[in-house]
Copies of this chain bind each other. A is one copy, B any other.
């Protein structure tokens, strides 16, 4: 018999990604998000939800661009820090010891030390309530070569992204491979 937990944003896993943006003065900002996910294959798009109160919200409205960066579990302290403070008050890149690398495709900075970055142009903005959803068209995916598999595709066991468990407010690492997609279910 299942138990009711109420109308809450409880589901696992959610990602731990970092949105890179510029403010009106050109200062780079980086903010951690979990309310995000791929939302279209063609054109390739990813959705990121932000509260209007955040500094990143204003940056995305003004610049119509962002990057979505994937920290590894070795960078969990930096990833958490980037969700704790506001870019309104501080230069988060400098405080976290991170490098803002200007994207050559979109008006937003890449986090140099994180191994994967999606460069996105805002194509839709959806008002949902407390959060506004920004749909970004993915113009390119940039990765450190070290995280690629022999196939040339990103290897999750090398990237080692961080999982967020909303109910527990806890981060987890990635475990072991458990099967090939579109294959293991044929049995």
A-side interface residues toward B, CB under 8 Å?
2-15, 17, 34-47, 49, 51, 68, 70, 73, 76-84, 110, 116-118, 124, 126, 128-131, 133, 135, 137-145, 148-149, 151-157, 159, 161-187
- Complex alpha-carbon distance, A187 and B78, angstroms: 9
Q: How far is the CA of A156 from the CA of B169 in the complex (A)?
A: 10
Chain B: minimal CB distance from A45 (Å): 6
Q: How far is the CB of A22 from chain B (nearest CB, A)?
A: 19
**10 A-B residue contacts at CB 8 Å?**
A4-B141, A7-B137, A13-B15, A38-B49, A42-B129, A78-B185, A80-B181, A153-B168, A170-B177, A170-B179
The oligomer's copy count stands at 2
Query: Is B172 touching A40 in the complex (CB atoms < 8 A)?
Result: no
Cα A26 to Cα B174 in complex, Å, equals 38
Residue from B79, B142, B172, B180 within 8 A of A170 (CB atoms):
B180
Contact A11 B178 (CB under 8 A): no
Other-chain contact of A40, B43, B49, B77 (Cβ < 8 Å): B49
Cβ–Cβ < 8 Å partners of A73 in chain B = 175, 178
